[in-house]
A = this chain, B = another copy of it.
Amino acid sequence: MQLLTISLRLSAQKAILLQTNLTLLMYPYKDLFAFTKNVFLAMGCPQEDAQVATTVLLSADLRGVDSHGVARLTGYVRLWEAGRINAKPNVRIVHETPSTATVDGDGGLGLVVAPIAMQIAIDKAKQVGSGWVSVKNSNHYGIAGYHAMMALEHDMIGISMTNASPLVAPTNSLKRLLGTNPIAVAIPAKNEPPMVADFATTTAANGKLEILQRKNLDAPLGWIQDKNGVTTPNAHELKDGGALLPLGGDREHGSHKGYCLGSIVDIFSAVLSGANYGPWVPPFVSFLPVPSDPVGEGIGHFFGAMRVDAFRPADDFKTHMDNWITTFRNAPAVEGEKVLIPGDPEREIQFSRLNEGVPLLEPVVKDLKEVAEKLGVAFIE
């Protein structure tokens, strides 16, 4: 472990972080991995599940999505303590056709359930060209992108989405009805790295708002509405009847399109599978109650895999993807910027974090130490 003098490359998220003056502590990835895996083992996860769950969870830290990585480990532990996560789930197909399946996650960690479901989609794609799997009775599954990227090594396009507890007000709504419902799509290339899009269907990710709240900083208009449905810079309004806004921000800038996207994710993930949808999606945090009138089981995910050679020879596809990627990456850009390919920034961060370690905020480290003590797991030396 080493103390980090903040010198990270800037990104939008980091720019906010820098204003917080919080101390970051650096941990080697392998140490964080061993610790996290031991926590999952202490929860009762089988060896293999603990290995997968750790890999998925820490892929967020490696890719710079700090809100979805090891910072959430204590949240999973609390849900398990509250009896809302099954550490030994029997994940199984409950309905299927040659190209589709519905999977019951048996209340397991989404970090474990999701890779199983994505593998089913991949296996079906091997057989009939494409595979599509809707999942019920699951929990938070980490970053959407991890699961989509599982398809890449098979020369497949991977798709991953999940619903989440309601934080977002549809256009015109005073009520939160949707989660930040992310979509990820991973597309293989030949000599270029793959394209990996992974984004919440809101204007801004919830993680950014938590940081603004902590530091009393203003949010840009179009991120949040107050309890009267009026856009506001005050992130604290989220605790007072406000809501996140769908991608687009307001009607004039297409918020109804972000609302469509979030709805599609919700329906594919939960109405297809039989999970809870809309305002019934159970919260990630254990101190909030589960809705007493569920319309399904747990939260829902949706996965897809398409073999590229189910459409044209794989080499043709990948050669043209290289051309697509280099054309976009080399396009003339605004002063001081460049045109990024989705997945570029995350890959750069991953490279640096594998080499230099993963930075964690001091309060996150404090939480992890408490969990370690509670579960009798040694923390990182």
Contacts and interface: CB of A to CB of B under 8 A. Distances in A.
Contacts of A263: 195, 197, 328, 342
Nearest to A255: B247
A335 B173 CA distance: 10
Q: Give this chain's copy count.
A: 2
A249 B253 contact: yes
Interface stretch (A55-63, A315-323, A361-369): A315-323
Interface stretch (A39-47, A80-88, A273-281): A273-281
B174 A332 contact: yes
A17 to B, nearest CB: 16
A260 B342 contact: yes
Contact of A128 (B128, B316, B340): B128
A138 interface: no
Interface in A145-177: 157, 170-175, 177
A333 B173 contact: yes
A377 interface: no
Q: Main secondary structure on chain A at its contact with chain B?
A: mixed
B272 A203 contact: no
Contacts of A332: 173-175
Interface string A250-288: 011110111111011011100111100111000000000
* Interface residue tally on A, bucketed by range: 35 or more
A69 B156 CA distance: 36
A30 interface: no
A187 B335 CA distance: 44
A222 interface: yes
A207 interface: no
Given A185-B264, A220-B253, A254-B204, A311 B174 contact: no
A252 B333 CA distance: 17
A98 B199 contact: no
A97 interface: yes
Contacts of A247: 247-248, 254, 257-258
Contact of A170 (B100, B177, B253, B339): B339
A180 to B, nearest CB: 11
Contact of A173 (B248, B257, B331): B331
Interface in A190-213: 195, 197, 199-204
A268 B159 CA distance: 12
A139 interface: no
A310 B99 CA distance: 9
B252 A220 contact: yes
B295 A172 contact: no
6 contacts: A100-B310, A247-B254, A248-B248, A248-B249, A266-B324, A273-B311
Interface of A: 12, 95-102, 127-130, 132, 134, 157, 170-175, 177, 185, 187, 195, 197, 199-204, 220, 222-223, 228-230, 247-249, 251-254, 256-261, 263-264, 266-268, 271-274, 277-279, 295-296, 306-308, 310-312, 316-317, 320-321, 323-324, 327-328, 331-335, 337-340, 342
Closest 5 CB pairs of A and B: A97-B129, A229-B334, A197-B260, A100-B129, A100-B310
